[in-house]
Chains A and B, each alone.
Chain A
């Protein structure tokens, strides 16, 4: 065979290969990130909502991803852009559970099986996800492990939670009352949100890869029943100058528990430098008050906080300024053992 014929044969083979490749990439949707949306339509039994994946340039190519489900909401795309996590109902009267599906509609699977409504799922850096569970009126956040699918409750306050999200630093954010809070994926480190939250901005959801936030190595030990809580200086507040408690005026910190109902757990003395150090029951809604030497309540928390089992929690002050780093000073309370305040229950 001459050189020219070899070349022709090679070119023909290359061309057919390229054609095949282009057909494959079109049919598999490679390279075009579909838009994910929730659509609603009328069916014989009423209204049905479903997840739809559509390619922006080709409206005829829209795919219904969840034909089996009666209703869907709160979709979120995985970090690799391949999967969608959402809340769904199999039948209109079922509880809402968390489901996952690939962006091409394959591998639909139910990820939670709880007796309460689950919603607002968000992927976590470790491959698991966080969601809001609506249980007897008050909501709480739960996480579901990446491999074992184990569901763990991670928030223990009493107020309703809303607008959950996961920030760029890997922490979970949520609203409680009028404030925005942040918590680690294991439920430790509940704090007022200090930075900008990555709240969903209403733009269409694109099934495209996005940066995976940093994971978190947990020190929670479920075999323990308490955690540690210390404050560096109860005199440090974000109140206007002059209205802060005068030095030496505070005598005690009083801790309230909301389990089983609201009751004081006990008092612990405040050190002269304003520091305190407590051992408190874990996974319990707690509220702290500062009490003057005359027995009056000087200040109190307006929201409930908690510690997870084996967590050590520190605060700078009471209603501390959010942008303040702690002072590098040995708190007097930490030169002694913690004051143990155990639950009455």
Chain B
């Protein structure tokens, strides 16, 4: 039989062959085209030709499609802060991602119990007899009171929003709680459980320390007070008169922020607070030698408070020193603890995976040798100073956060948040002598891996900062930066939150990054870290983590979901189509046109008259308005200190929404509504 005859009979054979002859090249053409398209798409989204097209990596693995969000099911412990029982036998750790207080035997490392508390527990402290513990629940706006003999919850006390640090008065009668989202301090009387006072703090109050004499309570703040546009940040240490329960003083540290942890020396009137000294007013042209930010300590001479100091070394009360070295940085200092005799202090650096050991006498000697005024200001920027007083850097892997000293003073316990471990440092040798595994999940999810990259500074030149250094809690640091080489001193950008940014692409105020892969990959390495690009697998994990950062509970929303009267009046103003004179507002000038629900962004760029003399661009990415009240300052370069200033100082032309017919009261209502979004 010839081939021709074989093909002709039977007929189906011919049809199959024809289909193959036509279909194969067509399918190949489609596949090649699809591959070309995918390659171009991946290069556009990442800006990095090293990426191979891999649909699943971005669209499934990173959880962009929540249907396969398997990584969210793994619940880590993520211990944040620690307390030690008076006999030193038991450790208590807040498991921030498992909503529990872990009780651990210090000697054996055995977990005795996990007492359920509220959402996202943060700080913990114990009564003097060790029978009761108090745990702040950052997302539940409450403090859990726990019976440590029976290992059960006793009661829950309502406080402000985002309670973080807390401290008991020495007589055990009062509890002071720093409410980090509502920017205030709850003063609780424990016997009645009543909140006696709600004191105004700085911005994002975070840690609390009570003086042993019962006279003063000190509260650190993470973010700078509002300052004029392009002025240095100034961050407050709030000092409470614990006899009258009022704010006695607001000590302001210039050029400092992220004052996270505070410790009081046991033997002298001295407080140490961790701090970051940012360089946001300089163009970010290099990282080396502390051009982006430096990590340090604020010192407060408690005897001299009262003569409020406003320069790093000015006045008698305050000084600042750096913990960094000239060619090695110790990112994200976050907690401090003194030894029993006050001779040494331990500082945890969550970004550097290290603990610095400070010789307190040498530090104080250095300050004594440095005259107040210009020399102290110089000292606050001196990267060589730490060699005079930092005696050791103890490697402490796993994002070291909260510190606690054992009652006998022999050990410092370190909560390693992202390793689910407690590290035990012997204070006589200053090394990690033991590691307590808290028994968290063994597997490393993509999101967890991303969290580790986000919090670690090792990908930045000389380890100067981590992603978290500018995005504490995945949120903003409240500063504007001059980031990219688009004209030095020009095109400033206000830091934008990472909370709840899934589905808000494009990114950056210029809208230049179509994806986080591009923003956190090539742009981040070239303009910010000045180091190496993340490897594709790492970048994928980092993006997965950032997209998983949740929005915090908005303190301005009522729990029942309904609006207050001013909020409702504001909603009507936001959605109005007619001005007060009854004229129709052009659709382009109505709020919901560019800020439509649910994210309140149309993801487009618009010129609303907010391009200023320092800007090259006129059109800016429309920001989402979710949690807008929690992220001042405003406008793309942060020149509006408050929401109101957007319209009163910078919205005189009615291009950024028609507002100039509104009364002051109506503007207040509009802002009340915006605060609920």
Q: Which residues of A does B touch, CB under 8 Å?
A: 125, 169-170, 189, 191, 194-196, 214-219, 228, 230, 232, 277, 310, 312-314, 322-331, 333-338
Contacts and interface: CB of A to CB of B under 8 A. Distances in A.
A328 B532 contact: no
A312 B384 CA distance: 25
A219 B488 contact: no
Interface stretch (B97-105, B124-132, B403-411, B520-528): B520-528
Given A189-B286, A324-B381, A326-B282, 5 more contacts: A194-B288, A219-B527, A322-B384, A324-B383, A328-B279
Give the most central of A218, A328, A333: most B CB within 10 Å. A328
Contact of A325 (B280, B291, B531): B291
Contacts of A214: 461, 531-532
B290 A194 contact: no
A334 B283 CA distance: 9
A88 B340 CA distance: 63
Interface in B304-357: 322, 324-328
A280 B533 CA distance: 29
B378 A312 contact: no
A87 B328 CA distance: 33
Contact of A324 (B279, B378, B485, B527): B378
A125 B286 CA distance: 19
B232 interface: yes
Contact of A169 (B255, B322, B461): B461
Interface string B269-302: 0000000011111110110111100100000000
Given A323-B383, A324-B381, A314 B462 contact: no
Contacts of A194: 288-289, 326-327
A325 B383 contact: yes
B147 interface: no
B282 A232 contact: yes
Contact of A230 (B381, B385, B488): B488
A314 B489 contact: no
A312 B531 contact: no
B230 interface: yes
B462 A169 contact: yes
B530 interface: yes
A292 B290 CA distance: 30
A314 B322 contact: no
A148 B460 CA distance: 27
Contact of A217 (B278, B322, B489, B522): B522
A314 B288 contact: no
A20 B533 CA distance: 43
A219 B531 contact: no
B382 interface: yes
A328 B280 contact: yes
17 contacts: A189-B286, A214-B531, A217-B525, A228-B485, A230-B283, A230-B488, A232-B282, A312-B485, A313-B285, A314-B285, A324-B289, A324-B381, A324-B383, A325-B279, A325-B324, A328-B279, A331-B282
Nearest to A333: B489
A230 B282 CA distance: 11
A328 B255 contact: yes
A219 B281 contact: no
Contacts of B255: 328
A253 to B, nearest CB: 16
Report the contact-size class of chain B (Cβ under 8 Å from the partner). 35 or more
Give the most central of A217, A228, A313, A333: most B CB within 10 Å. A217
Contacts of A215: 531-532
Given A169-B461, A191-B288, A312-B485, A125 B283 contact: no
Interface in B480-505: 482, 485, 487-489
B282 A325 contact: no
Contacts of B285: 312-314
A196 B326 CA distance: 10
A189 B532 CA distance: 16
Contact of A323 (B280, B382, B485): B382
Interface of B: 230, 232, 255, 277-283, 285-286, 288-291, 294, 322, 324-328, 377-378, 381-385, 461-462, 482, 485, 487-489, 522, 525-527, 529-533
B518 to A, nearest CB: 13
A329 to B, nearest CB: 6
B485 A216 contact: no
B279 A330 contact: no
Across the A-B interface, give the 7 residue pairs with the lowest CB-CB distance, nearest first.
Answer: A334-B489, A325-B290, A195-B327, A323-B384, A215-B532, A217-B525, A312-B285
Contacts of B487: 337
A215 B532 CA distance: 5
B188 to A, nearest CB: 38
A53 B658 CA distance: 79
B326 A322 contact: yes
B322 A325 contact: yes
B232 A329 contact: yes
Contacts of B531: 170, 214-217
Nearest to B377: A327
B488 A228 contact: yes
Give the most central of B255, B291, B382, B530: most A CB within 10 Å. B530
Contacts of B289: 191, 194, 324-326
Contacts of A323: 326, 382-385
A217 B526 contact: yes
Nearest to B230: A330
Contact of A216 (B325, B489, B530): B530
Given A169-B462, A323-B384, A329-B232, A195 B532 contact: no
Nearest to B524: A217
B532 to A, nearest CB: 4
A314 B326 CA distance: 17
Nearest to A230: B488
A331 B230 CA distance: 10
B380 to A, nearest CB: 9
Given A194-B289, A325-B381, A334-B489, A125 B278 contact: no
Contacts of A324: 289, 378, 381-383
Contacts of A218: 526
Given A194-B327, A230-B488, A323-B382, A328 B286 contact: no
Contacts of B533: 217
A189 B568 CA distance: 56
B366 to A, nearest CB: 14
Contacts of A313: 285-286
Nearest to A217: B525
Contact of A338 (B282, B328, B488, B527): B488
B286 A217 contact: no
Nearest to A195: B327
A314 B489 CA distance: 12
Nearest to A334: B489
B146 to A, nearest CB: 43
A326 B283 contact: no
Contacts of A337: 487
Give the most central of B288, B289, B326: most A CB within 10 Å. B289
Nearest to B280: A328
Contact of A326 (B381, B485, B489, B527): B381
Contacts of B230: 330
A202 B33 CA distance: 57
A328 B290 contact: no
A327 B294 CA distance: 11
Contact of A328 (B232, B383, B384, B525): B232
A277 B326 contact: no
Nearest to B287: A189
Contacts of A330: 230, 281-282, 489
B488 A277 contact: yes
A334 B482 CA distance: 11
Contacts of A310: 485
A277 B482 CA distance: 15
B526 A219 contact: yes
A192 B458 CA distance: 24
